Amino acid sequence: MSSRRSYWWGLTALVFVYALWPVAWIISLSLKRPEDLTDGRFIPRSVSWDNYRSIFESDQFLYALRNSVGIALISTVVAVTLATFAAYAIARLEFPGKSVVLGGALAVAMFPQISVISPIFDIWRRIGLYDTWLGLILPYMTFTLPLAIWTLSAFFREIPWSLEQAAQADGATPFQAFRKVIVPLAAPGVFTAAILVFIFAWNDFLFAISLTSTDRARTVPAAIAFFTGNSQFEQPTGAIAAAAVVVTIPVVVAVLVFQRRVVSGLTSGAVKG
């Protein structure tokens, strides 16, 4: 029995290394001194915080961090609010066109985002949304609404009908029943949807490099791609690695702390029987 246990532990260790070596490697790079960056060692010879100090002294990075946090948070709040309304209607109310909405959401989930880049680029330039927060928030909401709607409607279906009926029998309007009875029960589902939306908005690269041009709205993933060294002969590898670690920390922490919710959100609705 103990040999079987060590066999499973061996496999587990293998997966652990496979999944985490790139993270360990980028952390290692971010801690290397400039003169050690090209030594090709996985473990840094000596640890230095200079790379972190330099990015937190650069306006380019600080603006990008501000944009990333603001845009991702606003997208999350608005998308989850709209998805909550829609999912409640889909799970609880009878109305014609429900399957059209669900089918449309499914289509959006499979939609190739590159296909709307050209037209959105042109429309945003005309109506003044190019290089603004709203110009990124709108696509992030759009492409996260389907996942949020499915996750939430799956959650809403689990909530006992009778409570809502009881509230309505006691004179509550359908909206009051929604707000005072369903919302507290659905909070865990809402939270799950919020994490998934935040991860998408935080991680996006395509919209961020296509629809921004300056520090005004450029997010960290896009800013990293445009990082330049102090001279054209110097690759800013250390600074890029440090910025990469900083932008990774919030997501990894969120995913690890709320892993049960992330897993249930990813698989809810996607696989049924």
Partner 1 sequence: MTVATGKVSHARTDAAARRRPTTDRTRAERRLGWLLVAPATIVMLAVTAYPIGYAIWLSLHRADLRFPDDTELIGLGNYGDVLTSDLWWTDLLTTLFITVVSVAIELVIGMALAVLMHRALVGRGVVRTSILVPYGIVSVVGALAWQFAFTPGVGFVNQWLESDTAWLSSRGTSLAVIIATEVWKTTPFIALLLLAGLATVPHNLTEAAKVDGATAWQAFTRVTLPNMRNAIIVAVLFRTLDAFRVFDTIYIQTRGANDTESVSILGYNQLINRLNLGIGSAVSVLIFVCVVLIAVGFVKGLGVTISQGRTR
Enumerate residues 221-250 that contact partner 1 by CB under 8 A.
221, 224-225, 237, 240-241, 244, 247-248
Min CB(61)–partner 1 separation in Å: 14
> Whole-angstrom Cα distance, residue 240 to residue 223?
9
Among 69, 74, 77, 82, binds partner 1 (CB under 8 A): 82
Q: Which residue has the tokens 């997966």?
A: 15
**254 near partner 1 (CB under 8 A):** yes
Burial 213-227 (b: 16+ CB within 10 A, else e): eebebbbbbbbbeeb
Neighbours of 254 (CB within 10 A): 17
Both tokens of 265, joined, read: 């959100």
Contacts to partner 1 from residues 97-116, by CB under 8 A: 97-99, 101-108, 110-116
Min CB(57)–partner 1 separation in Å: 21
**37 near partner 1 (CB under 8 A):** yes
**127 near partner 1 (CB under 8 A):** no
Count CA within 13 A, CB hemisphere, residue 11: 5
Both tokens of 154, joined, read: 């799956």
Contacts to partner 1 from residues 176-195, by CB under 8 A: none
Among 54, 58, 132, 203, binds partner 1 (CB under 8 A): 203
**135 near partner 1 (CB under 8 A):** no
